[in-house]
Every structure is written in C-alpha cells, then in structure tokens.
C-alpha cells in the first residue's frame, strides 16, 4: 500500500502515524492494513475517572432527603470530575489501545449529542458510545434512547401518556436517523407516545414505568400497532433513508465535506443490509475513492483533532487540567459540552478570524516559547516572531511541558528535508513554499514548529 494512502487512512481513522509504523505497514496490502485496524478495535476499554465518592453520596442520599449543603458539595465534586473526564478523554485519544473505536466514539459524540451536569450519567453515556461505536446501529439507537443522560437532556423522563413530550421523538428522526423532511408532525406525536414511560433511577440505570406508558394503537411512518420505543426504532431502520442519512454524516466526517452522492449511495447499500457499522467502515476504507487525491488533506481538523495530532508529534502535558479546557474553549470545541443538540457544525465553521490566528500561533506557544522561526541572513524583513504581548493572556494561562525527546526518537531517521511529508497532509502552496525555503533550518525541532505554524497544518 502506498505510504501516502496509509498516512491518509491513519489521519482519518486516527490522528496520524509515526515514521517507523508507516515504514512497517507500507510492506502490507490494503486489505491487511484495514483488517488489522478493525481487529485492533474489537475490544472496548471503558473510559473512567474515580467517581466512588459520588456513588457513595448517592447511596446515602437515597436513604434520606439531602440538604442544600450536601447538594452543593456534590455539584462541586461533579464539576471537577467532568474536567477530569474531559482530560482523560483527550489522553485516551492521544494513546488509544483501540484506535478506530476511539475515533468513532468522537464521531458519535457529535451525532448522538448529549450533555449533563452529572459526571456519573455523562461518563456512562460516553462509554455507551464507545461500546456501540462499531456495532449494530439499531442496538446503538435503542441503547442511547434509554441512557439517563439522554432521557434528561431531551426530556424523555417527562414523557408520560397523559402529556407526551415530543423532544426526543423529534430529534431521534431529525438528527439521529432520518433527517429533516422524511417524517411528519404526526409521526413525531405518535413516536412520542411510544417512548412514554422511559426514565431512570437515581444512579442512572434505565427504568421503564409501565403505568406512564401509552399502550394504545399508534400509526408511525405508515405502520400501525401498539408500538414501544424499540418498535419505533425498528420501523425507522426499515426506511432506507436512515442508512443514507447516517452514511452521509460518516462520509462528511471521514471522507470529504463535499458529498459525492454516488459514493454515499454505495455506502448506504452496504449499511442497509444489516446496519453493521464495522462492515460499513471496512467498505469505506477499502474503497479506491477514499484514497482519491480530492479526498486527501482536504478536511479542516477539529480543535480536538488539532490538539491530539500535535501531541502525537510532540507530546504536550499541561501543568493544570483546566488549562486544557481553556484552550478547547478558545479553539471552539470543549469535549462533553456541545453547543446545542445539533452539535458542532464542523468543516469551515471551525475557523474564524480569532481561531485561525490562535491555531497558527499555538505550536510555537506550546512547543517553542512563543517563537516561530527566523529567515536566512539578509531576509530580516520576513522574520516571523510572535510578540508575547499579543497573546499574553493565552501565554500566561497556558503553561505546558513538551517532550521533544519523543519527537527526536521517532523522527531520528527522517531527513529534515523530508519532514514536511510526515507533518503536513496536503501540498504546500507556492507562497508558503517560498517562505519555508527562506527559513534557517537549524534543527528538525524548529523546522517541525515552522511546518505546524502553516495554514496547511490545519488540514487532514
């Protein structure tokens, strides 16, 4: 398999690939590489932070009415644990044992969008995403519909037969399975009736409250019966539009923001057979069109992809966990805190006048003491040095330790002239090329920072 194609695969299925691994894999055919990528993600390693203190407190609260002071204490602990969970998730993405499963978990987190102030519920929800990330989509949707975080977020726990709440029913079709225009308002009403009685207990386990469930006859997407929530999901899956809708989102995330309808139709044919996510991803990664030049280096990295990819080249450790969240906030994507039920829009929406400047400055801020580069003698007019004053608040609040020894070890056999092909996913434009040629290539370390400070580094 061509090295450029392997790099493309690992940038999309993960966050990049190191030179020695690339060299080893280049001897293998595509089917073996893709097969190994999938087989290495067969298992599930739950992401967990220590929430024993909260669970103990929950048990005590169930025995009696908690006072205001106790509630405030638990809320404070939960907020801190959510910071810990955010950081743990980023660390997992940097060092995954199941690479594709973790990348898929990140994808599904922006598909089945959910937020909650309880770290107990949101950690459980995050691991449900991880468990089903490469499994059966129907089982996935049913599991999501019963998660405590989701029943709270979209008000399913308020959905009772006397007064159905339509929030979850609407988003189930609009955002999770079918897309706008493929269902009626009456379908929403009938679907909501089917999900009545859904709730959870104090510790977040699903609880079906039969007395609150509407057992009457419902008509949904042309079918009639005494449907439950699971029945509604099964009916949705029988619509090929569901396969098309999910495949469009996967195509946009893993292949290209510009949709090729023929490729999506091909994916939908595969997916509709059994809704097996692993089989779908195997088809995508085995397809010749996935490796077309038009799909390589054409996607803008999300803030998390940007941060994780940077750390995969030069590991970065933050002195304070909240600094990492602060940086995510500045870049426009805080894990576990989506902007709304539709999630982050992605694509060109990741970049604006503020975030692009920060993205270009960030490698030097984190890795090189705010210094980017200097040009060859006689070209002082092209010096590219960051004034710390311009980013003094960012520089002051973000202190990190960079592990250049890791970089030097992994790139020791890479010539400085060849570094570009390992750091950048797309070709450098002529103006940037001229700028790179004007630089003093003092070391691979400095040249790495220079490459990461280009607009081209924003692409994957």
For residue 316, what pLDDT is reported?
Answer: 95
For residue 372, what pLDDT is reported?
Answer: 45
Nearest of 126, 114, 115, 117 to residue 72 by alpha carbon = 117
Task: Enumerate residue ranges in the chain where pLDDT < 50.
Answer: 372-375, 377-388
**Alpha carbon distance 199, 191 (integer Å):** 16
For residue 5, what pLDDT is reported?
Answer: 98
Question: Residue 402: how many CA atoms within 13 Å on its side-chain side?
Answer: 21
Kindly tell me the sign of the dihedral angle through the C-alpha atoms of 401, 413, 457, 255: negative
Q: How many other C-beta atoms can be found within 10 angstroms of the C-beta atom of residue 180?
A: 9
CA-only gyration radius of the chain, Å: 24
Query: Under a CB-based contact definition with an 8 Å cutoff, are residues 255 and 267 in contact?
Result: no
**Alpha carbon distance 99, 79 (integer Å):** 28
Extents of the domains making up the chain: 3-39+240-295, 136-238, 303-458
pLDDT, tens digit, 9 for 90 and up, residues 48-105: 999 988 877 776 666 666 667 777 888 889 999 999 999 999 999 999 999 999 999 9
pTM for this one? Answer: 0.94
For residue 251, what pLDDT is reported?
Answer: 98
Query: 3-state SS of 39-55?
Result: HCCCCCCCCCCCCHHHH
């Amino acid at each position: 398999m061509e090295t450029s194609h392997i790099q493309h695969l690992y940038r999309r299925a993960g966050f990049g690939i190191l030179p020695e691994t690339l060299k080893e894999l280049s001897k293998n055919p595509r089917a073996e590489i893709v097969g190994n990528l999938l087989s290495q993600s067969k298992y599930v390693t739950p992401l967990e932070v220590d929430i024993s203190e909260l669970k103990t407190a929950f048990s005590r609260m169930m025995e009696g009415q908690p006072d205001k002071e106790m509630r405030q204490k638990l809320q404070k602990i939960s907020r801190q644990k959510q910071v810990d969970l955010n950081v743990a998730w980023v660390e997992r993405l940097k060092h995954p044992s199941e690479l594709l499963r973790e990348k898929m978990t990140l994808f599904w987190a922006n598909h089945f969008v959910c937020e909650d102030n309880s770290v107990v519920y949101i950690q459980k929800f995050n691991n449900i995403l991880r468990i089903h990330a490469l499994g059966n989509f129907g089982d996935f949707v049913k599991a999501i519909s019963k998660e405590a975080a989701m029943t709270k977020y979209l008000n399913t726990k308020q959905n009772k037969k006397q007064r159905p709440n339509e929030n979850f029913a609407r988003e189930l079709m609009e955002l999770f399975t079918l897309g706008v225009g493929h269902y009626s308002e009456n379908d929403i009403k009938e679907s909501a009736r089917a999900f009545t009685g859904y709730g959870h207990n104090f510790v977040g386990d699903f609880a079906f409250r039969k007395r609150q469930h509407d057992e009457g006859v419902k008509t949904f997407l042309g079918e009639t019966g005494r449907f439950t929530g699971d029945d509604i999901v099964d009916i949705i899956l029988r619509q090929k539009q569901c396969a098309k809708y999910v495949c469009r989102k996967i195509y946009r995330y893993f292949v290209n923001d510009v949709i090729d309808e023929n490729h999506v139709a091909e994916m939908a044919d595969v997916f509709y057979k059994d809704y097996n996510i692993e089989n779908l991803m195997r088809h995508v990664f085995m397809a010749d069109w996935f490796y077309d030049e038009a799909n390589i280096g054409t996607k803008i990295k999300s803030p998390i992809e940007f941060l994780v990819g940077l750390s995969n080249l030069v590991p970065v450790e933050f002195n304070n966990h909240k600094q990492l969240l602060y940086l995510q906030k500045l870049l426009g994507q805080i894990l576990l805190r989506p902007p709304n039920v539709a999630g982050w829009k992605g694509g060109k929406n990741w970049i604006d006048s503020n975030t692009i400047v920060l993205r270009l400055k960030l490698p030097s801020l984190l890795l090189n003491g705010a210094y980017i580069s200097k040009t060859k003698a006689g070209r002082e007019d092209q010096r590219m040095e960051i004034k710390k004053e311009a980013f003094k608040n960012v520089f002051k609040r973000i202190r990190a330790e960079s592990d250049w020894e890791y970089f030097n070890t992994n790139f020791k056999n890479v010539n400085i002239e060849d570094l570009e092909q390992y750091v950048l996913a797309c070709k450098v434009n002529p103006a940037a090329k001229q700028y790179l040629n004007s630089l003093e290539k003092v070391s691979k370390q400095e040249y790495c920072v220079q490459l990461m400070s280009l607009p081209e580094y924003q692409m994957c």
